[in-house]
Chain A
């Protein structure tokens, strides 16, 4: 017997394949995430750029206002200190413009117009400041003429257009960014699940391999243990066989001697032997014969347990015929009635014949001294089984002994009354058990016993 826990090759194969597929999908997931993060980074830079551009436009407008504030302060008060904001702004505005030109503005086409307006505004501011040296009044008149304000309004409008472009682009980029972020989140989620799945599968496979390894180890030790025990049992069986062999040989030799010498004395004794002595010598020989038969029966009984029973369909009619021929001497005065056809059973022919002969022999033997033995043999179909009845007009068996009589060495009568070894019915029962059949006894109609044996019925005649 061996534990065979081996999961099917198919299961092992699918497990491994699932792990590989899951790992590949995880890898693809990681690549997708990397690509998405890359795009996300680029888009994020774009958004930052838009925000910078918006900021720069705002700074440009603020610097122009600072420049104008400085110009007005100077023109109104005449103190050069007030020109400081103007001069600072003057430094910064070209830089602001240069920055705007460098960046990829959404409304880059409108940038030259803004440049022109800024240049015009700065020119206007510079002109009025120069004019102030010659005629402060004239300069103030220019300021009051609202020409400067007009430039500022146009600049605000132009910057507003650029701003609107940038803001629109910023909104679009932010939306795209949000969308990408969503996609990336999904990819991360899916990949995480796949990674978990791969990990789980991997752990399961590792655990299973370890379990298989353990089971294989267990199997190996089990096989060793089983083979050790089988060896011990085989050895025990060999010893039993040797024992049976010894019984059959060594025990028989002295028996033969006892029997032989008793007969030799009886034959050669002549006149010197009284009739009583001669009877005693006959009893010695008879006892030896009995013991010899006992040895035969014990050997037969142990053989039934040992030998394999290869069953095949057996015709009961011919088997009963052969058995009756065998028992011709034992059943000389017996009337036998066989209700043919008896049918066919599945059995080992020699063993079945032995069982039937034992039953027939009993039926001839266990009869009251003043009765001539009568036997009726018939069969009865019982489902898939066929029951063979052997009914006699003998002395019968009391119901309380029904079980006992099938046990080895159980006898209900003294050897003097009915000779026998007490193994015949035990052999019948053992044979039936070995062939998957059964046996039993009931009272017969004629006051004797009705012994039966039951075996699977053969489907077709042999």
Chain B
């Protein structure tokens, strides 16, 4: 990595190994050049964001809501209240289709809300659209 230049990255915050497996597999199939970082719980995500996250140029954060140690809502709130991180797009990827969760996520500043699909095919479709929409843009103005 050239010093002074920040590399693009996608941060995935997911604790379920199976979901992570399908997600990684689907993301690989999109052939995106953007590297994928993984945090296994909310605290790990926040630790990453305040250290390496500042060096990476995060194109998006794929965030699960139900996470150990610190919840996805806490991570979301942390990102959206930090002046350096605020502009990072956060895509919620959760198994909850509850209206309350949806509302709370958008109240806290989420940029998108996706319900985890069942099946590898559906996951591939979802990751393709995430890649198209969030990772192909040049976020530097």
Q: Give Cα A261 to B96, complex, Å.
A: 21
**Most A-side CB within 10 Å, residue of B95, B97, B116, B123:** B95
Question: In the complex the two chains form, what is the Cα distance from A255 to B119 in whole Å?
Answer: 9
Chain B contacts for A285, CB-based, 8 A: 119
* Distance to closest chain A CB from B23 (angstroms): 10
Is the Cβ of A248 less than 8 Å from the Cβ of B118? no
B22 touches A253 (CB 8 A): no
Contacts of A264 in B (CB 8 A): 22, 25, 120
Whether the pair A260, B123 counts as a contact (CB closer than 8 A) is yes
The smallest C-beta distance from A195 to any residue of chain B, in angstroms, reads 70
Are A257 and B18 in contact, CB atoms less than 8 angstroms apart? yes
CA distance A259 to B66 in the complex (A): 21
Which residues of B sit under 8 angstroms from A260, Cβ to Cβ?
18, 21-22, 118-120, 123
Whether A249 pairs with B18 at a CB distance below 8 angstroms is no
Partner of B95, one of A252, A259, A261: A252
Chain A 287-313 interface 0/1 with B at a Cβ cutoff of 8 Å (1 = within): 011001000000000000000000000
Does B125 make an interface contact (CB < 8 A)? Answer: no
A124 CB within 8 Å of chain B: no
- Separation of A285 and B21 alpha carbons in the complex (Å): 17
Taking the nearest CB of chain B, how far is it from the CB of A370, in angstroms?
Answer: 32
Whether A249 contacts B66 in the complex (CB less than 8 A), given A256-B95, A264-B25, comes out as yes
A267 x B96 contact (CB < 8 A): no
> Which residues of the other chain, A, contact B25 by a CB distance below 8 angstroms?
264
Does B47 count as interface, using CB distance less than 8 angstroms? no
Q: How many residues of B contact A (CB 8 A)?
A: 18
Q: A residues within 8 A CB of B18? A: 253-254, 256-257, 260-261
Identity of the chain A residue whose Cβ is nearest the Cβ of B123 in the assembled complex:
A260
- With both beta carbons as reference points, the residue of chain B lying nearest to A261 in the complex is identified as B18
Q: Which A residue sits closest to B29, measured CB to CB?
A: A267
Which A residues touch B123, using CB under 8 A? 260
Q: With the chains together, A261 CA to B118 CA distance in Å? A: 10
Using known A-B contacts A260-B18, A264-B22, A264-B25, determine if residue A253 contacts B119 with beta carbons closer than 8 Å.
no
Cβ of A156 under 8 Å from chain B: no
Known contacts A256-B18, A257-B18, A264-B25; is-contact A248 B119 (Cβ 8 Å): no
Map CB proximity to A onto B79-107 as digits: 1 under 8 Å, 0 otherwise. 00000000000000001111000000000
Whether B98 contacts A245 by the Cβ 8 Å rule is: yes
A220-264 Cβ-contact flags toward B at 8 Å (1 or 0): 000000000000000000000000010011001111110111011
* Interchain CA distance A137-B22 in the complex, whole Å: 176
Residues of chain B contacted by A289 (CB below 8 angstroms): 118-119
Choose one: A245, A249, A252, A259; the contact of B119 (CB below 8 Å): A259
Contact with A along B28-47 (1 / 0, CB 8 A): 00000000000000000000
**Which chain A residues lie closer than 8 Å to B16 at the CB level?**
253
Residues of A within 8 A of B117 (CB): 256
**At the interface, yes or no: B74 with Cβ under 8 Å from chain A?**
no
Please give the distance in Å from B96's CB to the nearest CB on chain A: 6
- On chain B, the residues within 8 Å of A245 by CB distance are 96, 98
> With A and B bound together, what is the CA distance between A218 and B121 in angstroms?
65
Q: Are B118 and A259 in contact (CB under 8 A)?
A: yes
B19 at the interface (CB under 8 A from A): yes
Which single residue of chain B is at the shortest CB-CB distance from A254? B18
Decide if A253 touches B19 in the complex (CB within 8 Å): yes
When C-beta atoms are compared, the residue in chain A nearest to B94 turns out to be A249
Separation of A257 and B25 alpha carbons in the complex (Å): 13
**Inside 8 A of B95's CB, which chain A residues have their CB?**
248-249, 252-253, 256
Shortest CB-to-CB span from A282 to chain B, Å, is 11
Question: CA separation between A67 and B120, bound complex, in Å?
Answer: 157
In the bound assembly, the distance between CA atoms of A267 and B95 in angstroms comes to 24
Query: With the chains together, A285 CA to B117 CA distance in Å?
Result: 13
Contact B97 A248 (CB under 8 A): yes
Residue-wise, chain B 125-141 has the 8 Å CB interface mask toward A (1 for contact) of 00000000000000000
Q: A256-B19, A260-B22 are in contact. Are A288 and B118 (CB under 8 A)?
A: yes
- In the bound complex, residues from chain A placing their C-beta under 8 Å from that of B120 are 260, 263-264, 267
Alpha-carbon distance A245/B65, docked complex (angstroms)? 13
Give the shortest distance, in Å, between B39 (CB) and chain A (any CB).
Answer: 18
Give every chain A residue within 8 A of B22 (Cβ-Cβ). Answer: 256, 260, 264
Chain A hits for B98, CB < 8 A? 245, 248
B96 CB contact (under 8 Å) in A248, A255, A256, A292: A248
Given contacts A255-B118, A260-B18, 14 further A-B contacts (CB under 8 A): A245-B98, A248-B96, A248-B98, A249-B95, A252-B118, A253-B18, A253-B19, A256-B18, A256-B22, A259-B119, A260-B118, A260-B119, A263-B119, A292-B118
Can you report 9 residue pairs joining A to B where beta carbons are below 8 Å apart?
Answer: A252-B95, A252-B118, A253-B16, A253-B18, A256-B18, A256-B22, A260-B123, A288-B118, A288-B119
B contact set with A: CB distance below 8 Å? 16, 18-19, 21-22, 25, 66, 95-98, 116-121, 123
Residues of A participating in the B interface, judged by any CB pair closer than 8 Å: 245, 248-249, 252-257, 259-261, 263-264, 267, 285, 288-289, 292
The 6 closest A-B pairs by CB, nearest first: A257-B18, A263-B120, A259-B118, A260-B22, A252-B95, A259-B119
